[in-house]
Structure formats: C-alpha cells, structure tokens
Amino acid sequence: MRYAAVKCMTRSYRPTLPVSYVAQILGFQSPEPSDEKDTGGLEECTEWLKAHGCLTTDSSGEMMLDAKASMATLFMPEPDDAVSHGDASLAVNDFLTRSLS
C-alpha cells in the first residue's frame, strides 16, 4: 500500500514534497500535532523511501522528496528473508533432517 501511495504522490506532486507530509500520509507519524517533533518517524520514513529508490534532498533544513526525479527510480525491493520457493520454513536442511528421522 505504501509503495502504491508513493508512486501516486510522485506522479501528482511536482517538483518536491516535504518528507514530513509523506510520513504522515504513509503512517510513519501520527497526524495529531505534538509539542516535541517525532524524528523517529521521519527517520524511518526517510530510510523506507531510500530503500524504495526515492531521492530526497535537504533544502533549508527540511527533508524534501524529489518527486520528479523519484518517479523514474522507484522500485519494489526484494524481501531480505525471501526464499525461492516462497516458504522460509522449508529450507533444504530442515527437509533433509525431517526425511531422515
């Protein structure tokens, strides 16, 4: 869902978009205003965006998503824990130990 939302945002908003706004839309931050800034959500959102090929810039102290440049570089990364047959619990070693018992 987040990937589809970012893909739509990069096509709709030009040239840049504040990462704080993107973090709220994607659910990394709560929309309610608070006295202290939630930097954990911003950092997590920035890392997620970079992992999916988005380009961010730091203009005048605020992180911005470069929507125009990111539109061409977006991709869905392969999961780190993925296996070729789709089930991580069916490793070859597990299969061999079960069949020999």
Digit-coded pLDDT (tens) for 58-73: 878 889 999 999 999 9
Residue 14 is classified by DSSP as -
On whether the 2-73 domain is CATH 1.10.490, my answer is: no
Contacts of residue 55, defined as CB under 8 A and 6 or more positions apart, other chains included, come to 65, 66, 69, 70, 73
37, pLDDT greater than 60: no
Domain ranges within the chain, ordered by starting residue: 2-73
State the pLDDT confidence band at 31, using cuts at 50, 70 and 90.
confident
Digit-coded pLDDT (tens) for 6-22: 999 999 988 999 999 99
* HSE-up (13 A, CA, CB side) for residue 85: 7
What gap in Å lies between CA 4 and CA 76, rounded to an integer? 10
Question: What is the model's pLDDT at position 83?
Answer: 65
Average pLDDT of the chain to the nearest whole number: 82
